[in-house]
Amino acid sequence: MKTHLILTAAAVALALSGCGSKKDAPVEPATVSGSEAAPAASADPSTMQAGDTIAQNLAASPAHKTLAAALTQAGLAQTLSGAEPLTVFAPTDAAFAQVPPVTRDGWMRPAQKDVLAAVLKYHVVPGKLTAADLAAKIAEGGGKAVLRTADGQDLTATKSGDAILLTSSSGNKATVTQADVGQSNGVVHVIDAVLLPKM
């Protein structure tokens, strides 16, 4: 009788644990917002046409969907469509995926439009600066160049081997992974992290 009770209790526990695991199992694979498990898209220069504006080319780039959506949300797509030459350090979707989802999603809320605009303007430097221009400024500055961004803050450029390294005013870093993508109104340098200004 005792063995029968033990076996019955074990069977009930096993059945309940089986039910619990089915109930708790996610219906769909869990993904972080904006970072679906897809192959990382590269910033293929062939998707960016030299005759198009920065805004048009970022919108067409398979590696910059998050940046293009953020520019539209912040009302800055028009700024990047103007005739004034600009240098844009463009974080990829993979770079945005490194930002904690709660922060990234918060930036996209209408109430945070000004914060989002400040973050994006920190990636824009007035004037056209090619990689050679940046390297020359770094050499002239004794190993670093301080760039003034569109939001009025400083962004520091240095060299790390052959690569250009950017350090934000808040201390985080990004590397230029693809330089000199020509645009009708300036140049885009692809970077591997979102630069964070002082807020």
Other Cβ atoms within 10 Å of 134 Cβ, number: 23
Residue 23: exposed, middle, or buried by beta-carbon count in 10 A (0-12, 13-18, 19+)?
A: exposed
DSSP output for 37-78: S-PPPP--GGGS-TTS-HHHHHHH-TT-HHHHHHHHHHT-TT
Residue 51 has what pLDDT?
Answer: 81
Is the pTM higher than 0.85? no
Specify the DSSP class assigned to residue 79.
G
> Where in the chain are the domains?
51-191
Fold classified for 51-191: FAS1 domain (2.30.180)
**Cβ distance 165 to 147 under 8 Å?**
no
Q: Which portions of the chain are predicted below pLDDT 50?
A: 1-43
Cα–Cα distances in angstroms (integers) from residue 194 to residues 12, 52, 116, 143, 167, in the given order: 52, 24, 12, 23, 11
Judged by DSSP in three states, 90 sits in strand
What span, in angstroms and rounded, lies between the C-alpha atoms of 5 and 169?
Answer: 69
Residue 22 has what pLDDT?
Answer: 33
**Cβ distance 107 to 100 under 8 Å?**
no
What span, in angstroms and rounded, lies between the C-alpha atoms of 158 and 166?
Answer: 6
Strands laid side by side in the 186-191 sheet: 124-126, 86-91, 186-191, 173-183, 163-167, 154-160, 144-148
Other Cβ atoms within 10 Å of 19 Cβ, number: 10
